[in-house]
């Protein structure tokens, strides 16, 4: 996979002593760089699947579904059967089960001292369709990155980007619960983009690689304007991953590896270029400031919608099929125009606090 890296455009052949068959491939990745064995991303996939099985076991639809008019789906699975499709069309558990297991919920994070939900929500999924879409994307994106940069850096990007997506989502979505690994996956996409930019000089076919990545990212972000999709988690994860790519995914500049075998006066003097260090410093400052401001605003109970009156359009663009709802100036919602409030909702003891699934899809 690393030797046929179409999205990244390949690296330049650096040594004229290599056989013609190796460096003539326009997507050739030099063999002098260590290629890692991917094991962390497969473990992440297993962990997400395991958490979904646990969620379905806890959900126990045959016992807990009180709506006799809409029975459980796939009853042959026993307590692992799915909620009625009118309640959860993605073949998954109820919103109350997801809430119990650690779904992202603003009220409990801020007023219930449950900040751990910022992390646990990225390991939960709303249904089989949601899980499959995200895990396929994780395999295709994550394994390639782990092979090239190792499990430590890719693991850090995944987790920190997931946290960034959760923070931004909590600032703008206050009465819905949100689950899914899409913020972390968008972080990996963002890191791929910044990695291409910061290591620009070592790649061939740069324009094609950049155009391909931008199109992929744009399509995925466009999906976020659909109802019940948490695009703020996507955007937060993408921005965090984009900044982390400048910090963690630097490659040596062109010719540095081979120049170590040359006389001292012929060597490339620096492993990285000046602009790589400048981008690293700028990204580090923005990352620290962004997380600090975001966490302070979140735990002070600040509402992001009051500081940015147009930001709700990032997650919902009104059309004839769905509309934007802004109840009491406290929360952004994107609902189908014919939305029935009895669907996808779970009311708790707090007044005026309906919980809806806010699925954070990632287009595979």
Which residues are marked as active site?
A: 182, 234
Q: How far apart are CA 118 and CA 170, in angstroms?
A: 9
335: left (phi over 0), alpha (psi -120 to 50) or beta: beta
Q: How far apart are CA 344 and CA 253, in angstroms?
A: 52
Q: How far apart are CA 236 and CA 121, in angstroms?
A: 14
Q: How far apart are CA 299 and CA 295, in angstroms?
A: 6
Count of Cβ atoms closer than 10 Å to residue 152 Cβ: 12
Contact 248, 192 (CB under 8 A): no
38 token code pair = 């991917």
176 token code pair = 């819905």
Q: Which residues pair with 178 in a beta bridge?
A: 104, 358
Phi, psi of 252 (to 5 degrees): -60, 145
Contact 247, 191 (CB under 8 A): no
CA atoms within 13 A on the CB side of 82: 17
Q: How far apart are CA 31 and CA 177, in angstroms?
A: 46
């Amino acid at each position: 996979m690393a030797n046929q890296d179409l999205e990244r455009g390949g690296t330049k052949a650096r040594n004229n002593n290599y056989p013609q068959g190796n460096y003539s491939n326009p997507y050739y990745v030099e063999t002098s760089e260590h290629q890692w064995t991917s094991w962390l991303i497969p473990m992440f996939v297993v962990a997400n699947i395991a958490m979904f099985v646990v969620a379905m076991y806890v959900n126990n639809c045959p016992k807990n579904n009180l709506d006799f008019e809409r029975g459980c789906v796939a009853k042959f699975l026993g307590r692992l059967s799915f909620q009625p499709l009118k309640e959860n069309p993605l073949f998954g558990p109820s919103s109350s089960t997801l809430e119990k297991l650690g779904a992202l919920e603003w009220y409990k994070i801020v007023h219930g001292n449950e900040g751990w939900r910022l992390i646990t929500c990225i390991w939960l999924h709303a249904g089989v369709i949601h899980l499959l879409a995200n895990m396929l994307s994780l395999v295709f994106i994550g394994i390639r990155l782990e092979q090239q940069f190792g499990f430590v850096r890719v693991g850090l990007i995944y987790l920190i980007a997931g946290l960034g997506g959760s923070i931004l989502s909590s600032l703008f979505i206050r009465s819905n619960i949100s689950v899914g690994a899409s913020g972390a996956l968008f972080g990996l996409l963002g890191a791929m983009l910044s990695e291409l930019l910061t290591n620009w000089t070592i790649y061939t076919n740069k324009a094609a690689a950049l155009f391909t990545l931008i199109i992929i990212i744009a399509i995925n972000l466009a999906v976020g304007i659909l109802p019940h999709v948490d695009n703020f988690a996507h955007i937060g994860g993408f921005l965090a991953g984009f900044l982390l790519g400048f910090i963690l995914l630097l490659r040596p500049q062109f010719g540095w590896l081979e120049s170590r075998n040359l006389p001292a006066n012929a060597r490339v003097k620096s492993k990285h270029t000046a602009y790589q260090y400048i981008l690293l410093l700028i990204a580090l400052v923005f990352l620290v400031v962004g997380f600090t401001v975001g966490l302070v605003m979140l735990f002070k109970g600040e509402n992001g919608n009051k500081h940015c009156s147009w930001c709700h359009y990032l997650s919902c663009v009104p059309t004839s099929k769905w509309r934007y709802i802004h109840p009491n100036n406290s929360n952004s919602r994107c609902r189908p125009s014919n939305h029935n409030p009895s669907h996808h909702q779970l009311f708790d003891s707090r007044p005026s606090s309906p919980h809806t699934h806010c699925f954070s899809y990632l287009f595979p």
